[in-house]
Each structure stands twice: as structure tokens, then as C-alpha cells.
Amino acid sequence: MEGRLICALLLCAVAGTRGCGRSSTTTTIPPAVEPEIIAVTAAGPSEAGSRPGGSRVSLLTKAELHTLSEELLRVDTGVQQPTLNEQGKTSGAATRDLAANPLFGSVPAATMDKETVRLMQSLLDNYEPQVTSREVYTNAEKSEEDQFLDALMRTAVMQTLERNLKRKNIISGSLRTTLKDIWFTQYKRGGSRVSSSGFEHVFVGELKGGKVAGLHNWQNFRKEEEEGDLDYKGYIRLVDLNGKGKIIKVRFVWLNQPKPVGSIFVGVTPELEMALYTACFLAKPDSRCPVKLNNKEFNIQTWSIKLRGKSVIGSAYPDI
């Protein structure tokens, strides 16, 4: 019976069948909090229990990071905001379902039609959730990545980030090449097969060791809710960015696996979200990185993976 259940879950993850993998709203979740990834070597990438923070040297000061993040927000075109139904307040140790309804309500059509949002949507079904399953990387998927990166680099957000990073000598080549390397390079994550990337972990999500790893993106959270594969259990904390989006820390179950604590931006463009993570990863990796959006101060936490002499993204998320 257990073998058939695992097989069914894998098939659901690949097919994305509506309603497949959704657990009952009365299902309880063990009071465990998923530890985020720490800096690891390519020989043994894993997730380990370490409190985020770190004391790495920053290539930008706190004031410079605040200025840069506010500038990125100022040049961002933004999107019309989705509506949220937060419902009950919960905690990472809770077992009761405090949200009978999905987190996401309506999302304006103009938001989903925005070029970078639409192109990110095309990437979300390109990955195997299980970190033990080898990724099949097709030419069509490579083309989708390239179209997404090209669209990102046409935005004022990424052009502004590139100017700032070059001015501070943090990068010397093109930002597009850097984005391709740090976000889409594939690697092993706690197994023997190439099964992960920074983009998959952060923006899509993975299943590892009976729990959800990553999945810090509102677009995929909403998509999986609509398909019946994600069951929102309540919110832990909410930060309103004064009309420019929100950050919400939540508890949920995805494909029958728990995520006791996870934080996501909501109503933020792909270019702004990726630009903030990239700036923090390059300027202050493996640490809490202080940023400011619309006068709201918070941190972004990034973790790196060392791979063939270079550093790529292991995880990134808003830390509230």
C-alpha cells in the first residue's frame, strides 16, 4: 500500500492533475520546521539544521542595500495585486487546519498577462518535485529559460541592477550570464542524481525527506492551489509593502508533504523578486541581507552551493 501511495504521488507531481495529491483539510501536520539549506560543497549538497544568519563579509553596506532595493522598486512597473484570504493565524508547530479556503482569491488578468509573469508560468511545469528524481532537461525547456531571461533583461529592474553591480565591481560580465549560471545550473541535492537548481528550489519547490523544500514563490503557490495539490493551513506573519505587494509566512501541505514554515512574496514581479535575491546572493551570501521596500525594512536570506569552483544559489527567501 505504501509503495502504491508513493508511486501515485510521483505520478501526480509529474502530471499536475487537478485535485491529485491534495490531503484532507482535517489532516494534521507533525510539529516540525523544515531547516533551510546551508552552504555546502558539490560533493554532498544537503539541507542541515542551522539557524540562518551568518557573518559573511558584505560587498555592499546596509545603507547601500537599502538604497538599491528601493531603487529597484521605484523603477519596477509592478502588477495589479491579487486578493488574499489569510484566514486563521497559525504557527510552525500547529497541527490544526486554520484555513478552510485557499490563500489566493482573484488575480487580475492583466497581472497574469504581464510578459515576465507569463513566461515564468511556462517554466513551472518543467521540474520533477522529488530531489531523488533526475531532471529531464529538454531543448524546449532550455528555450523557455532563454525567453524568460531575455524578458527579464528588457526590464528596467534588471538593467538598474546590472548598472549597480558593475559600478561596485561585483560583476564584470553581463548580468544575463550571471543569472543563467546562478539560477539555472543544475546540481545534486542530497542524492546521487542531478535533480535541482536554484530556480526550481525557490520558485517551484521540491520534495525532500518527507517534507517540502523551497517553494517561496506566489505564482507557483497559486497554481498548485488551483490544481488542488496544495492545501494552505494558515498564516504565521504578514508584512504589507504599502500597496507594492506583501510578504507572508505560511504553513501548508503540498503533494501530501508538509511545509510547517515558509515565506513568500505576493504580488511582486518576477524581475523584482529575482533581482533582490540576486543582489543579496552576490553582495551578502549565506547571511541575512538587509533590504527596504516602500520604507519597510526586512531581510532576505540566501544560501549558496559550491559547484565546480563556482557558487550557485541553493535557496533564497524573505526572512520576516
As annotated, the active-site residues are 201, 216, 259
Contact yes or no for 82/222 (Cβ under 8 A):
yes
Question: What does the alpha-carbon distance between residue 207 and residue 201 come to, in Å, rounded to a whole number?
Answer: 9
What sign results for the dihedral spanned by CA atoms 118, 258, 216, 209?
negative
Query: Strand 206-208 relative to strand 211-213: parallel, antiparallel, unpaired?
Result: antiparallel
125 φ/ψ angles, rounded to the nearest 5 degrees: -100, 20
Question: What does the alpha-carbon distance between residue 301 and residue 282 come to, in Å, rounded to a whole number?
Answer: 12
**Amino acid at residue number 166:** K
Contact yes or no for 49/33 (Cβ under 8 A):
no
Q: Please calculate the CA angle 236-157-267 and round it to the nearest 5 degrees.
A: 30
Other CB atoms within a 10 A radius of the CB of residue 1 amount to 5
Question: What does the alpha-carbon distance between residue 315 and residue 307 come to, in Å, rounded to a whole number?
Answer: 14
- Residue 142, CB-side half-sphere exposure with 13 Å CA sphere: 6
